[in-house]
Amino acid sequence: MPIRTRLTFLYASLLGVALLMFGAATLSVLNWTLRRQVDDTLLEAAEDVRVAAIYGADPTSSGEPVLGELFMAQINRLNAPGLFAQIWLYDPQTNLAYAYGSSWSLLSMSYNGALDAKALGSEGITRRDVFIEGDHLRVVTVPLMVNNQLRGYIQTGSSLRTIDAALDRLLKIMLGGGAITLSAALLFGEYLTRRALRPIDTIAQTARQITAADDLSLRIPYKSEDELGELTETFNQTLERLERLFNAQRRFVADVSHEMRTPLTAIRGNVSLMARIGYDDESMTAIDGEARRMTRLVEDLLLLAKADAGRMPLETALVELDTLVLETYNQARLLSDSVTVRLGQIDQVQVMGDSDRLKQLLLNLVTNGLKYTPAGGEVSLSIRRDEGWVMVDVCDTGVGIPTEDLPNIFDRFYRVDKARSRAMGGTGLGLSIAKWIAEAHGGDLTVQSVVDEGSTFTLKLPLVPDDVPHDALRKTIPHARAIRNLSSRGR
């Protein structure tokens, strides 16, 4: 069953229950109110009869009520449509006998029975519903006390025919109105749910179009401030991210194919040349260089693949980052004679991390600066504290990076100058690996660059305060959250 149908029936069911409860409450309150008014009227009539009987009592006969013409005239004044009164008195043998009744009633004139026989003999006032010859009556029975002695009973009754007819008519109106209301609610609810869930149909249709056309550039054309608008925006953001990842994967596969094909082509070419002319030192050197380059490429790809799969935990411990910077500086001085490597500000700091990976990150940044800095240029390293963070700057005076290339500089196999990068022996993965290592340690890696002036790569890592002991136990932490937690506890 479609969700819109379920929602419509649920809405109609709740409305039906609400109408049923409201109708039942309305009928109950109205019935109670009308019966209360009838009871009050009957009690007033019974009181008038009682007063007339007491004033008409004969003092010479121990206060026996006397039903003379004046008394009967007073009782007959109680006549009203649907109102009937009876007086039952005790005879000398203490038996109740019918004494008098009002001349008008809805009952047949031949009926002389009690309006409510069960109430005769009761000690107090009673109120009961009775049925006499098919008529529904409300009867009130009041004891007749004369000189503090029980002399009989007064019964006043009123037909409930009008009230029953009104309640029956109201019930039919409520049932008919409820049926019409529920029918309208079903139709209107179906319309509202169809309109409210229309964006979901659009999402499903767009998803089918994406699947059929294999086109991740499609977006859902729905904008609103409600929950469905937020769902649509989230879905569009997901599509945008999937499109970006899909394009990146496609470029990655193309780049990997090209990068692997280039050294293989060079190796095969040199092997073919030696097959014709025999052993050649220059060809063997070229083969060895291309094989080493392909080995580095495969190793870097395996490292990033393990990192993406989350199967590369960090062996973390307290690391004196200033010592790693000095080691990187000493190693970088041996990598290039034409470019000067120097140290800037060096603060003594410690971080929680994997020393081998952090050193790999620093070497990647320094090697990248040496590759793109012409002879006579300079590469500098510095390390400083900044409000609970460690900032490592690797600056060079190289060719710089164009502004439009900065957002993609950490993408895999992305090169600003592809021909020049391959000639320098790079794999296009060094900065991607450096970025991953930084983020795995709870930090970040950013770059600022100006063309023909140079670039500055800044590594940001959580600082571990100096009061944390250096002999902390080593432990394996598969993600960077624990590193940030340790840093925040120390501050």
The mean pLDDT of the chain is: 78
Of residues 400 and 99, which shows the higher confidence score? 400
pLDDT, residue 65, reads 54
Does 193 have pLDDT greater than 70?
yes
DSSP 236-255: HHHHHHHHHHHHHHHHHHHH
Does 480 have pLDDT greater than 70?
no
Q: Where are the domains of the chain?
A: 3-167, 212-303, 314-490
Confidence of residue 71 (pLDDT cuts 50, 70, 90): low
Distance CA 452, CA 398 (A): 6
Does 473 have pLDDT greater than 70?
no
Tens of pLDDT, residues 271-326: 888 888 888 888 888 888 888 878 877 777 777 777 666 666 778 889 999 999 99
Tens of pLDDT, residues 354-369: 898 899 899 989 998 9
Per DSSP, the three-state class of 149 is strand
Say yes or no: domain 3-167 is CATH 3.30.450: yes
Confidence of residue 206 (pLDDT cuts 50, 70, 90): confident
Asked if residues 259 and 297 have their Cβ atoms less than 8 Å apart, the reply is yes
Q: Looking at 184-193, 247-256, 411-420, 462-471, which range is the least confident one?
A: 411-420
Report CA 467 to chain centroid distance, whole Å: 44
pLDDT, residue 490, reads 37
Q: Looking at 49-63, 82-96, 427-441, 464-478, which range is the least confident one?
A: 464-478
pLDDT, residue 310, reads 65
Q: What does DSSP say about strands 378-385 and 340-346: parallel, antiparallel, or unpaired?
A: parallel
Distance CA 476, CA 314 (A): 6
Among 150-164, 203-217, 254-268, 383-397, which range has the highest average pLDDT? 383-397
Say yes or no: domain 314-490 is CATH 3.30.505.50: no
pLDDT, residue 276, reads 86
Of residues 69 and 263, which shows the higher confidence score? 263
Q: Which among 396, 404, 400, 349 is positioned nearest to 377, based on CA atoms?
A: 396
How many CB atoms are located within 10 Å of the residue 282 CB?
A: 10
**Helix H or strand E encompassing 111:** none
Among 5-14, 216-225, 385-394, which range has the highest average pLDDT? 385-394
* Mean per-residue pLDDT, 22-36: 90
Specify the amino acid at residue 490.
G
Say yes or no: domain 212-303 is CATH 1.10.286: no
Of residues 306 and 390, which shows the higher confidence score? 390
pLDDT, residue 443, reads 93
Residue 316, phi then psi, degrees to nearest 5: -100, 145
Q: Which among 86, 230, 190 is positioned nearest to 144, based on CA atoms?
A: 86
Q: Which among 435, 431, 429, 433 is positioned nearest to 293, based on CA atoms?
A: 429
Tens of pLDDT, residues 87-117: 887 776 667 666 666 544 444 445 667 888 8
Of residues 2 and 87, which shows the higher confidence score? 87
* Mean per-residue pLDDT, 420-447: 78
Contacts of 354 (CB under 8 A, 6+ apart): 314, 315, 316, 317, 319, 441
* Mean per-residue pLDDT, 178-202: 80
Give the single-character DSSP code of 422. H
Q: How far is CA 91 from CA 28, 63, 150, 264, 308, in A?
A: 43, 13, 12, 134, 110
